[in-house]
Amino acid sequence: MAAHCLRHPQRGEGGATSRDIAGIVAADRATTGTDYDLAFLGCGINDVWRHFQGRTSEAVGLEEYTRHLNAMLDQLSGYTRKLVFVSETPFGPVEDPNTVTAMNAELARYNAAAHAAAAAHGALFLDVWAPFTAAARHLTGDPGALWSDGVHLTELGDTVLLQQTERLLAEHRIIEKLQDYPLLERHAALTAYGPMVARYRPSGS
């Protein structure tokens, strides 16, 4: 029986915009040279929020956002077996209703751009917008219970996100498929899989 270890990047950073995350992705590859089995990528809410906060130097416009997305997807798809882009959740009750409506209208444009970019790069797109909207609608006593401040998720919000992620993994049998590497001819196998085990080989005397 073979044991499998799925390699996946964990580089989340609170408050980061797509500009920041693009730098993280580029630096990770340059520093570690690691190939990944599974990668989740998501960004956009801070790009929009910074604009509405008046932090214009940190805000990222849609054109720049799309450029960063394509750069990251280009890079990650080159050494990641399965790539999933996670849409941003909508803004919850953070300010007056008109402001929230305007922020969500803008954020929806960013999610649409992310969906198109993911499709162009053969990545899966996990759309969590509708599930969060439905969950908030059903929480009639406290529609803001999914967010601690209208932006960051509460434990309940994390649970909704986790459920959607688990559903995607199950529907596409992602983990099962990633645990079964294709058989290759010997020389091709050495080239494809050699770097994955090189660090575990005993060094020569």
How far apart are alpha carbons 35 and 15 in whole angstroms? 26
195 within domain boundaries: no
Give how far the C-alpha of residue 198 lies from the chain's centroid of Cα atoms, to the nearest Å: 28
118: domain CATH number is 3.40.50.1110
Pairing of strands 36-41, 80-86: parallel
Query: Looking up tokens 């190939």, which residue turns up?
Result: 35
Strands (DSSP E) contained in 43-200 are: 80-86, 124-126
pLDDT given at position 5: 41
Tell me the CA distances in angstroms from 120 to 101, 114, 124, 193, one per residue in order: 29, 10, 10, 27
6 within domain boundaries: no
How far apart are alpha carbons 122 and 119 in whole angstroms? 5
Q: What is the 3-state secondary structure (H, E, C) of 135-170?
A: HHHHCCCCCCCCECCCCCECHHHHHHHHHHHHHHHH
129 within domain boundaries: yes
Whether the Cβ atoms of residue 69 and residue 113 lie closer than 8 Å to each other: yes
User: How confident is the prediction along the chain (205 residues), in pLDDT tens digits per residue?
Assistant: 233 345 555 666 778 999 999 999 999 888 887 889 899 999 999 999 999 999 999 999 999 999 999 999 999 999 999 999 999 999 999 878 999 999 999 999 999 999 999 999 999 999 999 999 999 999 988 989 999 999 999 999 999 999 999 999 999 999 988 887 777 788 887 887 777 666 656 655 4
pLDDT given at position 18: 97
Query: What type of residue is 77?
Result: S
Sign of the alpha-carbon dihedral angle for 71, 74, 77, 80: negative
pTM as predicted = 0.84
200 within domain boundaries: no
Helix axes 62-77, 18-32, angle to 10 degrees: 20
147 within domain boundaries: yes
Token pair for 165: 């992620």
12 within domain boundaries: no
1 within domain boundaries: no
* C-beta neighbour count of 94 within 10 angstroms: 15
pLDDT given at position 199: 60
Number of domains in the chain: 1
List of residues 6+ apart from 120 with CB closer than 8 A:
70, 73
User: Which domain covers residue 53, as residue numbers?
Assistant: 18-182
128 within domain boundaries: yes
